[in-house]
Amino acid sequence: TLAADAVVVGVGITPNTSLASDAGLDVDDGVLVDASLRTSDPDIVAAGDVANAHHPFYGHRLRVEHWANALNQPAVAAATMLGHPVPFTNLPYFFTDQYDLGMEYVGSAPRDARVVVRGDTGKREFIAFWLDADNHVLAGMNVNVWDVTDTVKQLISSGRPVDPDRLADPSVPLDGVVSENA
């Protein structure tokens, strides 16, 4: 049992991989693709919700079910088809507005990641950060705190460890939370 003030449930669907499977492509929770969205057949690419892609930053596969991913992956798929493969490096991104609650989430974190909260959860104005064991930011979610998503993306992308105490302190600017021991 886990106590919570609110619970959000997102219900999705299972990706339809029958066409890919019938074509002999590798599938597992989507169509398996490399970082450049190439399937197990190098002449076929896959993009969007169905693509289970190796993510170069995280070093493992991610299948992102959000329109932002489906909007951004086709340019990488097209470059790959034209013989100029580039990796799809966008961090996963989701957002939602539910009545008076607005949320943006960027990144990807395992269940055992440490969570550091900055702000006031009681007022429903905070940022939650997911850190690995070495204090690298893996993901962040802002709740009713605006204009911070780009900074959160920079904290993740930098790969630099942060000071968790400074990260939790709203009086410290977000660009000042990188650990001085980094």
Describe the chain by its helix, strand, coil percentages, rounded to 5: 20, 30, 50
φ/ψ bin of 29: left (φ > 0), alpha (ψ from -120 to 50), beta (otherwise): left
Where do the domains of the chain lie? 18-81, 93-176
Helical (H) or strand (E) element with 138? strand 137-143
Of 106, 133, 118, 132, the closest CA to residue 167 belongs to 118
Report domain 93-176's class: alpha beta
What is d(CA 91, CA 155) in angstroms, rounded to the nearest whole number?
12
Name the band, by pLDDT with cuts 50, 70 and 90, for residue 21.
Answer: very high
pLDDT (tens digit per residue) in 150-169 = 999 999 999 999 999 999 99
pLDDT score recorded for residue 182: 53
β partners of residue 52: 32
pLDDT (tens digit per residue) in 48-76 = 999 999 999 999 999 998 888 889 999 99
What percentage of residues in the chain have a pLDDT greater than 70? 97
Mean pLDDT within 40-48: 96
pLDDT score recorded for residue 176: 84
pLDDT score recorded for residue 181: 66
Mean pLDDT within 110-130: 96
Of 58, 51, 178, 150, the closest CA to residue 113 belongs to 58
pLDDT score recorded for residue 145: 94
What is d(CA 121, CA 104) in angstroms, rounded to the nearest whole number?
15
What is d(CA 126, CA 130) in angstroms, rounded to the nearest whole number?
13
Mean pLDDT within 4-24: 84
More confident site: 19 or 12: 19
Phi, psi of 81 (to 5 degrees): -65, -30
CATH of domain 18-81: 3.50.50.60
Question: What pTM was estimated for this model as a whole?
Answer: 0.85
Mean pLDDT of the chain: 93
Q: What is the CA radius of gyration of the chain?
A: 18
pLDDT score recorded for residue 155: 96
pLDDT (tens digit per residue) in 79-100 = 999 999 999 999 999 999 999 9
pLDDT score recorded for residue 142: 96
pLDDT score recorded for residue 84: 98
Instruction: Map residue 6 onto helix, strand or coil.
Output: coil
